[in-house]
Amino acid sequence: MIFAVVAGFIVGFLSLFLREFLNGHGNGNVWNIINAIFFQDITTTDGFEGLGLFYIIGQLFMRGLQMAIVPLVLTSLSLAMCSLADPERLGKIAGAMAYFVKCMGWFNVNLPAQEATETVTMEGYNPLVTVINAVPSNIFTAFSSNNSILAVVVVALILGLSMTALGEKTEPLKKVLQNLNDVVQLFLNFLIDKIGPLAIFCMISRTLSVYGVEYIKPTLVWILTTIVVSLVLVATIYPVGIFLTTRLNPVPFMKKAAKIGLFAAATNSSAATLPLNTKTCTEELGCTPEISSFVLPTGMTINMNGTTAMHMVAIIFIATAAGIDIKPSTLVVAAFLSICTAMGTPAIPVAGITMVYVVMTGLGMSSELCMIGYSLVLAMNYLPGMAVITLNVIGDAATNVIVNFKEGVLDKEKYNKVEK
């Protein structure tokens, strides 16, 4: 994936230089031929006779993601609700910080004149209408369109909670949903691992060739904002939370949990970090194996604090870069969708950033400009992902400590012991 990103930028910049050179020397027709073969949007009138190879590959990749949205949300969220504990979310804080960056204009992009007509505004829209639309009048209608993703989320929540209430009676249905979820995740893994690098290469190359370098600055700001937001939350929310709920000194926790965060950043996977997280909690933080064996795997599945934070920052970046005037009321809907989708996010690399597309769809962000922004987020997610996964796994450890304390089984002597 990294090679694809680098190659995409190289080819994109070379294509951009070639375009300016040919147009500046009166050879615009040569560039028009190159553009028609590789970069042309074949769905427009101008692209009627074009090949648009890079455009086609990028669109097939994005449509593959779209195809998996409804079954992924339905199955993953329903199954997550079956084992729901009480996860805390940090999306509101992350959304506020990202909204500040947006208001400062650091996500802004000077859109090409021909694309400016695609920008939209959400002014004049009563956000309470979203509450009505969240409950579908026809369950099958909700599943027929990605634009009804909020209704799918509500159906999945109801289904998951109902299955929990009925207990063992719903085991056959749970197995069906689990098998369907496995199929969808297998498809997504293939799409992202095998097709993703080629698609990312094509989308980045085409973005730079067609739109220039306008998206580079806000993309770098998005990367920096996501990393800073995640690290600030790690350094503040968890220590404060532990102190307020247990009155314990949070310093020993942060020192011992640091290696968990570093390992998670290196592997970029909550699942791969679970053994180390369990070992640290039981041997150094004074947690019992019995509670840890339940809290940590459950948290790995549904306690995606970092994923929610990343979703909020990414949505604001994509919307602003695409010319969408996103309002705080819209962020409320985005936060709800982000919290729900984060609970069903698999504990594997790039899963969280893939679910950004679910939130985008729920907000109606489906224009080509939004897809360009999303392709950049997907391509440039490696460094932000390291910070996000750190927020996730340390959050699991903090929750485990708090639960053990509330149950009266936390070994405080072991917790406070710090190796010199």
Domain boundaries, the chain: 85-149+214-416
The pLDDT value given to residue 250: 92
What span, in angstroms and rounded, lies between the C-alpha atoms of 1 and 110? 28
Contact predicate 118/323, CB 8 Å? yes
What span, in angstroms and rounded, lies between the C-alpha atoms of 257 and 251? 10
The identity of residue 84, as a single letter, is L
The identity of residue 314, as a single letter, is A
What span, in angstroms and rounded, lies between the C-alpha atoms of 28 and 235? 54
User: For 11-45, b where at least 16 C-beta lie within 10 A, e where not — what string?
Assistant: bbbebbeebeebeeeeeeeebbebbbebbbbbeee
Whole-model pTM: value is 0.61
pLDDT mean by block of 10 residues, the chain; 420 residues:
75 83 83 84 75 85 76 75 48 48 49 42 48 72 67 79 82 87 81 80 79 69 82 88 91 91 78 83 90 78 72 82 76 76 58 72 75 75 80 89 90 82
Class of domain 85-149+214-416: mainly alpha
What span, in angstroms and rounded, lies between the C-alpha atoms of 43 and 50? 10
What span, in angstroms and rounded, lies between the C-alpha atoms of 324 and 373? 12
Q: Which long-range contacts (C-beta less than 8 Å, at least 24 apart) are formed by 50-53?
A: 53/202
**What is each CA distance from 284 to 238, 262, 271, 392, in whole angstroms?**
17, 17, 20, 19
What span, in angstroms and rounded, lies between the C-alpha atoms of 401 and 407? 10
Contact predicate 69/151, CB 8 Å? no
The pLDDT value given to residue 285: 92
**What is each CA distance from 327 to 10, 53, 122, 226, 330, in whole angstroms?**
36, 36, 7, 20, 5
Q: DSSP readout, 134-183? A: TS-SSHHHHHT-GGGHHHHHHHHHHHHHHHHHHGGGGHHHHHHHHHHHHH
The identity of residue 347, as a single letter, is A
Distance of CA 399 to the CA centre of its chain: 22
The pLDDT value given to residue 90: 45
What span, in angstroms and rounded, lies between the C-alpha atoms of 366 and 319? 10
The pLDDT value given to residue 100: 45
For residue 121, list its beta bridge partners. Answer: 325
The pLDDT value given to residue 253: 93
Q: DSSP readout, 186-232? A: HHHHHIIIIIHHHHHHHHHHHHHHHHTTTTHHHHHHHHHHHHHHHHH
